[in-house]
Structure 1
Amino acid sequence: MAGSEGKLVRSKSGLRIVALNEGMQSPLLLAEPPWVPDKECPQCLSCTVKFDFLHRRHHCRRCGRCFCGSCSNNNIVLHRMCFVDPVRHCKDCVPISMKENEFYEKQLKTLTNGCSFYVSTEEELLDNKTFPLFLCKLSQDHRFLYLDPQGPEGKDQMPVALFRVDSTAILGASTDSQGNRVATGMQFNYRDELGTQCVMRLMAPDSGAKRAGMAWVAAMQKAMKMIMDQREK
């Protein structure tokens, strides 16, 4: 488990690495789904073949539903559940995990490496002064957004806990030559440790670091979407 102490456990779905303390778990992770009971699955939910001695019942490790071997013969890495080895997926769940795996294997590193942004808080939004520059990066356990001052004008900032972020918004959005929507900034609406509503804005500098800032914002968009989608379930 990246950035935090973990232990190896065996569930009916396979070997997983889980946090020693549940409160220290990354908000990006998913809990194992309950398996649909065998008695409620007389046939494959995909091809409808009836289960018998020749057609055995299998459970998708991502959704927990029942399928025959042919309809669940894809073993895919499931980063969001911290399985040690690739696990069985149904056809519907394969593209979901594949898309998330691309984030884990490529864009998550962008977030933990960090990028430079001008940072403003709610009280400063109407000011015309130059905002201080910070290195913004995701913690190794993926739970906090750290802000390290990059100059004498920057004051130490408390980390923002991703599990306390209520919503985000894209700033400086535009369209590139291929019609893709890109952004150079991001707003976080979150609650601090006292429950006070706070606002923080990040804006990439208009320099050679702007492209890196766009990549960082795009990666953080995907991370927050994963977190928000899971909250709604």
Structure 2
Amino acid sequence: MAAPGKMLVRSKSGLRTVSLEEDVSSPFLLDEPPWIPDNECSSCIQCQKKFDWSCRRHHCRRCGRIFCSSCCDNSAPLPRMSFVDPVRQCADCVLKTKRENDFFEKYVKTLINGATFHVKRMVNNQETLDVSVCKMSADQRYITFEGGNGLEPINLTRLEGVQIITSGADAQGNTVASGISLKFSNRQGDLQKLQLSAPETTNKRPCLLWIAAMQKAVKLLYETRGVSATTPVTP
């Protein structure tokens, strides 16, 4: 699935690259926040310093709140709001942004490249097993399946629950992931469930990296909804 067309727009916060079709934009994006009006804030939200001719107001581009220059002097890329250049952010927001940028820089490519899984599901009350290459689409909206028999793409906005499947612990006592279970609503609104497991006969590393990246993606999506992202389970 190709990424949607985009255009450059200039807002009061900076230059942004936005989708030509709002309903096909990446679910990882955030809307640009409204700015708190200047006349509603007489002092810095962080340090309470009064604003005057020598202490000017500065809006954080991520939260829209008003700070003095000292409390809002961070500049960082903000891809979740599609800004072309780094933008001014307060201390709290820049920490969130840097954690999220780590996802875009390290994990999106892993998800788009995909990995080969055994995909277990129920069809007509019977359990079926397919071998499929699972990928995130280029527009970051779907999980797609190459090689699966009749497996439809999963819209990431329709994910209802995610569980990490574990298979014991390694020599250091760390829990080892062996798969991931996805619960979602299909296009008809019916609740479905797929279980993706790393095949025993292949190199599991790409699968484990994909699962780890998927955990990061779901956490990012669910944080915006205010719900818990994942629950580890054993088979």
1:194 deviates by 0.8
1:13 deviates by 0.7
Query: Which stretch shifts more, 117-126 or 54-63?
Result: 117-126
Question: In the alignment, which residue of structure 2 is the partner of 1:232?
Answer: 226
Question: In the alignment, which residue of structure 1 is the partner of 2:111?
Answer: 111
Question: In the alignment, which residue of structure 1 is the partner of 2:133?
Answer: 135
- Gapped runs of 5+ residues in structure 1? none
Query: Which stretch shifts more, 166-175 or 103-112?
Result: 166-175
Taking the aligned partners of 1:105 and 1:164, their CA distance within structure 2 comes to 24
Question: In the alignment, which residue of structure 2 is the partner of 1:6?
Answer: 6
Question: In the alignment, which residue of structure 1 is the partner of 2:192?
Answer: 198
Query: Which stretch shifts more, 203-212 or 7-16?
Result: 203-212
Deviations 1:104-149 (A, max 9, x none): 011110000101111011349975x7x3211000000000111001
What's the secondary structure of 2:10's corresponding residue?
strand
Q: Is the 8 A contact 1:110 1:219 kept in 2?
A: yes
Is 2:139 the counterpart of 1:145? no
1:178 deviates by 5.1
- Letter of the 1:202 counterpart: L
Match of 2:213 among 210, 213, 219: 219
- Letter of the 1:135 counterpart: V
Taking the aligned partners of 1:215 and 1:187, their CA distance within structure 2 comes to 15
Q: Is the 8 A contact 2:166 2:175 kept in 1?
A: no
| Distance change >3 Å, CA 174–CA 25, structure 1 → 2 | farther
Query: Which stretch shifts more, 220-229 or 176-185?
Result: 176-185
| Distance change >3 Å, CA 165–CA 80, structure 1 → 2 | same
- Gapped runs of 5+ residues in structure 2? 228-235
What's the secondary structure of 2:53's corresponding residue?
coil
Taking the aligned partners of 2:57 and 2:90, their CA distance within structure 1 comes to 12
Question: In the alignment, which residue of structure 1 is the partner of 2:25?
Answer: 25
Taking the aligned partners of 2:200 and 2:186, their CA distance within structure 1 comes to 30
1:184 deviates by 2.3
1:44-123 superposed matches below 5 A:
44-123=44-123
Taking the aligned partners of 1:35 and 1:179, their CA distance within structure 2 comes to 48
TM-score when normalising by structure 1: 0.90
- Letter of the 1:156 counterpart: G
Deviations 1:163-221 (A, max 9, x none): 11111111125444555544221111111111111111111122453122111111111
Q: Is the 8 A contact 1:182 1:214 kept in 2?
A: no
Question: In the alignment, which residue of structure 1 is the partner of 2:230?
Answer: none
Question: In the alignment, which residue of structure 2 is the partner of 1:210?
Answer: 204
Q: Is the 8 A contact 1:116 1:209 kept in 2?
A: no
- Letter of the 2:145 counterpart: L
Taking the aligned partners of 2:122 and 2:87, their CA distance within structure 1 comes to 45
What's the secondary structure of 1:172's corresponding residue?
strand
Question: In the alignment, which residue of structure 2 is the partner of 1:169?
Answer: 163
1:90 deviates by 0.4
Taking the aligned partners of 1:18 and 1:180, their CA distance within structure 2 comes to 42
What's the secondary structure of 1:93's corresponding residue?
helix
1:41 deviates by 1.4
| Distance change >3 Å, CA 175–CA 30, structure 1 → 2 | farther
The CA RMSD over aligned residues, in Å, is 2.0
